[in-house]
Structure 1
Amino acid sequence: MIPKEILKKIRKLEIQTKGIVNSLFGGEYQSAFKGRGMEFSEVRAYTYGDDIRQIDWNVTARTGDPFIKIFEEEREQTLMLCIDISQSGTFGTLEQSKMDLAIEICAVLAFSAIKNSDKVGLVLFSDHIEKVVPPKKGRTHVLRLIREMYTTEPTGKGTDIADGLSYINRLLDRRAIVVLASDFQDNDFDKQLRITNQKHDLVSIIINDQFEDELPDLGLVKLRDSETGAEKIVDTSSDKVRKVYKINRMKQKAYLHEMMLKMKIDAVEVKTNESYVKPLMNFFQRRGSRY
């Protein structure tokens, strides 16, 4: 039985995100994510004027007569949402947590996908795979995905991005759009990131909170790592402490962005205290202009 507050939340999110999709992102999604291109359909006998580059030499050699390959445009795609639901996602200093923001953005993408008649699937992960919903079409299916996003309680506390991506690569036997939504508070996932980007059309949604970038001056504060449980007393009134924290944070973000750039992975950075509409629209337009 789904709690009434969750049902209310799902309904509110559907209304909100579908409005954004209909007014802003419907056509942009289609432009940004083209079909897989041309897929082999059949062979037929060569006729004068056919492109000789399409000759199927195996069939031609076997029959003694020239045959060519026929290709058809494949429009239907699969959008796979791969969402980090580890404990660090519960952090949020203003109106919403990083997890809430991830769910809302993924809902927008899911409704955009079904408007384009694409299938949508879901993988939720922490330090292991928490929930998997195979790709399907339709509004009812997307609502089920949103329900799973809201109601799945992770049994793991840590983050294993490599494991999540590895599972996706084993699960999908055809090229798909893979959206990885995470705060990327993890290490040693670059190999699986590269493999996934080679096999699929990978997009990273990097989710941050403003107070993760720099410490506010609050005096002595007990900080707790939500994933490991480790606690530490930090003097946030110290300029040196705040400066060192900010520098380290900037280095982490720069390393992540450099990795994405080097692997040519599309990345969208969003923050819990800012609207995601503009970053997402800019991303769609960048993608669309490349085709």
Structure 2
Amino acid sequence: MLDTAEILKKVRQIEIKTKGLTNHIFAGEYHSAFKGRGMSFSEVRDYHFGDDVRSIDWNVTARFNHPFVKIFEEERELTVMLLVDMSESSSFGTQKRDKRDLITELCAVLAFSAIKNNDKVGVIFFSDGMEKYIPPKKGKSHILFIIRELLSFTPKRKGTNIKETLRFFNNAAKKRSIVFLLSDFLSGEYQDALNIAAKRHDMVGIQVYDQRDRELPPVGLIQVADAETGATQWIDTTDRRVRQYYEHQFAQHAQYCKNAFMKSGAELMTIRTDEDYVKALQTFFLNRA
């Protein structure tokens, strides 16, 4: 567990890295990817050659005996909700970082991108139940608070229940939001709850996984433990059937996740802990624009 000084240092490191990415890479892409509710009247200005005649404000034109056009701007005021898996399996990692570290950085990038576009950001931490709710707000201090919580929060339970989390959110959220659901998606069924959420909100799943979630190296007899149940057992990783079964289990969860998001009409990104998440996010934003 990090002490206060270590948490503050880590928050600062994440702020510098992710805010820099937001300023130089993601700000425009985010704005284009997530549109506002529509266009609202902003002001009038003098008519210029080439302006659409349909935008002429005839009342103002008649009053000043000179053509004026209406200027409209996009209504943003969007709410971004981060639904973050804090279960014990998210602390697993064997490459550059564990899944929790990657999720924290992803949340920071998304949050800074949102507030740069004057959007609100809220968070739900979940395990096999709802752990903590941070209401949507704007501002840098709010984002830094979210990052501190991501680094320091200790869940009361170890398991994962995506279905109940989505049910809670569906009941609690009255306003349409942009929702990022970040998890390894390695347990449970959640199709019906995801269908409802995707109809009401702009829903995006981010599946974060480690290479060792997917495959076992042939390193001999090892003791493994389920991070969420605590159950342990000895397995022989030199046995090809054991490794194939392990890979098959991961593939089943991954395919269920992919199908669930596809059926609901929601979108899904998949990012491995040793991969460049910058490229993955940029590709996602550009594809939506």
Q: Retained in 1: the 8 A contact 2:97–2:273? A: yes
- Paired with 2:85 and 2:123, the residues of 1 have a C-alpha distance of 11
Q: SS at 1:217's partner residue?
A: coil
- Paired with 2:131 and 2:3, the residues of 1 have a C-alpha distance of 18
- Paired with 2:3 and 2:255, the residues of 1 have a C-alpha distance of 41
1:109 aligns with 110
One-letter amino acid of the counterpart of residue 7, structure 1? L
- Paired with 1:147 and 1:233, the residues of 2 have a C-alpha distance of 37
Unaligned segments of structure 1, at least 5 residues: 40-49, 51-70
1:35 aligns with 36
- Paired with 2:185 and 2:223, the residues of 1 have a C-alpha distance of 23
Report how far residue 247 of structure 1 moved.
Answer: 2.5
Deviates more, 1:25-34 or 1:93-102: 93-102
Deviates more, 1:178-187 or 1:115-124: 178-187
1:59 aligns with none
- Paired with 2:265 and 2:227, the residues of 1 have a C-alpha distance of 31
One-letter amino acid of the counterpart of residue 114, structure 1? I
Q: Retained in 2: the 8 A contact 1:161–1:189? A: yes
TM-score, normalised to structure 2, is 0.85
Report how far residue 242 of structure 1 moved.
Answer: 1.1
Report how far residue 251 of structure 1 moved.
Answer: 2.5
Q: Retained in 1: the 8 A contact 2:186–2:250? A: no
TM-score, normalised to structure 1, is 0.85
Q: SS at 1:154's partner residue?
A: coil
1:261 aligns with 262
One-letter amino acid of the counterpart of residue 170, structure 1? N
Show CA shifts across 1:176-232 (max 9, x none).
001100011221211111111111111101000011111101111111001011111
One-letter amino acid of the counterpart of residue 165, structure 2? G
Unaligned segments of structure 2, at least 5 residues: 41-53, 55-71
One-letter amino acid of the counterpart of residue 79, structure 1? V
Task: Indicate yes or no: 2:11 matched with 1:4.
Answer: no
Report how far residue 95 of structure 1 moved.
Answer: 2.5
1:88 aligns with 89
1:281 aligns with 282
Task: Indicate yes or no: 2:208 matched with 1:207.
Answer: yes
2:162 aligns with 161
- Paired with 2:27 and 2:217, the residues of 1 have a C-alpha distance of 39
Counterparts of 1:8-19 in structure 2 under 5 Å? Answer: 8-19=9-20
- Paired with 1:8 and 1:84, the residues of 2 have a C-alpha distance of 23
Moved over 2 A (4+): 36-39, 71-74
2:123 aligns with 122
2:60 aligns with none
Counterparts of 1:52-201 in structure 2 under 5 Å? Answer: 74-201=75-202
Q: SS at 2:128's partner residue?
A: coil
Report how far residue 72 of structure 1 moved.
Answer: 9.2
Instruction: Give the aligned CA root-mean-square deviation in angstroms.
Output: 1.9
One-letter amino acid of the counterpart of residue 266, structure 2? I
The 1:19–1:72 alpha-carbon spacing in structure 2 relative to 1, beyond 3 Å, is closer
Show CA shifts across 1:138-187 (max 9, x none).
10110011111111100101011112112222222110001100011221
Task: Indicate yes or no: 2:275 matched with 1:270.
Answer: no
One-letter amino acid of the counterpart of residue 33, structure 1? F
Report how far residue 23 of structure 1 moved.
Answer: 1.2
Q: Retained in 2: the 8 A contact 1:131–1:152? A: no
